[in-house]
Chain A
Amino acid sequence: DTGVSQNPRHKITKRGQNVTFRCDPISEHNRLYWYRQTLGQGPEFLTYFQNEAQLEKSRLLSDRFSAERPKGSFSTLEIQRTEQGDSAMYLCASSLGSPGGTNEQFFGPGTRLTVL
């Protein structure tokens, strides 16, 4: 399977615990995005990487959230001291950014986080 993969698919944690999610993009894609989606809503942009550089962060990304893409390939999203409001689907997408291109984003299956 050469699509975007995310692990784990589901995570249940207690409030106050730290969690980390992983995203493996399509191998030749240089851009990687993280989104959060709550029930009945469209995805909301969190952050974006071009290669290993984190170029954009939404104000939704509080200090408890940190994302990395150390070698420009896979990425991790860590949430510290989780709160019940963090319960959501966390989606990762990747794209091949090229001048004049549509920069189509391909989404992974998501990680569903439940904070008890």
Chain B
Amino acid sequence: KNQVEQSPQSLIILEGKNCTLQCNYTVSPFSNLRWYKQDTGRGPVSLTIMTFSENTKSNGRYTATLDADTKQSSLHITASQLSDSASYICVVKGAGTALIFGKGTTLSVSS
């Protein structure tokens, strides 16, 4: 069964600290993996997209890694800001058009 599992479910960190979110998937065949940021009550916004051949991709303070052999990805946030408080969703595209979403990690950044 195609699944995307994320950990931790929730995370609280102090402003300025770094954090890493994890994503494991069992989707096969694999097309690409995306990380989205979703603010409360809003639609998801894409942070990164990685294909099979890409190991790392950065978008400002966000750096995503992908290990297609172990089917794991991580999202590292550097020097967190209050505005980083959101849900971060790992999404995998396999065959066909449908995306398979994880449940997300809820990040709270406090001052």
Judge whether B72 is part of the interface by a CB distance below 8 angstroms: no
**Which A45-104 residues have a C-beta within 8 angstroms of B?**
45, 48, 55-56, 58, 89, 91, 93, 102-104
In the complex, A79 Cα to B83 Cα: how many Å?
35
Interface SS, B side: strand
Min CB distance B25 to A, Å, is 12
B51: interface (CB < 8 Å): yes
How far does the alpha carbon of A91 sit from the alpha carbon of B46 in the complex, in Å?
Answer: 14
Task: Please state if B41 and A112 are interface contacts (CB–CB under 8 Å).
Answer: yes
**Would you give the shortest CB distance from A48 to chain B, in whole angstroms?**
5
Tally of B interface residues using CB under 8 Å: 23
Whether a CB of chain B sits under 8 angstroms from the CB of A30 is no
Complex Cα gap A31–B89 (Å): 22
Total A-B pairs, Cβ < 8 A: 54
Q: Which of B47-67 contact A (CB under 8 A)?
A: 49, 51
Write the B4-33 contact mask toward A (1 if CB under 8 angstroms, else 0).
100000000000000000000000000010
Within 8 A of B (CB), among A21-54: 31, 33, 40-45, 48
B101 touches A43 (CB 8 A): yes
Determine whether B103 belongs to the interface, using a CB cutoff of 8 Å to chain A: yes
Residues of chain B contacted by A48 (CB below 8 angstroms): 97-98
Q: Is the CB of B101 within 8 A of A104?
A: no
Most chain B CB within a 10 A radius of its CB, from A31, A42, A91: A42
Interface residue? B45 (CB, 8 A): yes
Contacts A48-B97, A55-B97, A102-B51; A107 near B43 (Cβ below 8 A):
yes
Specify which chain B residues have a CB less than 8 angstroms from the CB of A91 in the assembled complex.
43-44
Interface-central residue, B41, B42, B43, B91, by most chain A CB under 10 Å: B43
Residues of A near any B CB (own CB < 8 A): 4, 31, 33, 40-45, 48, 55-56, 58, 89, 91, 93, 102-110, 112
Given contacts A40-B103, A103-B93, 8 further A-B contacts (CB under 8 A): A33-B97, A41-B103, A42-B89, A43-B89, A56-B98, A89-B41, A102-B32, A109-B42
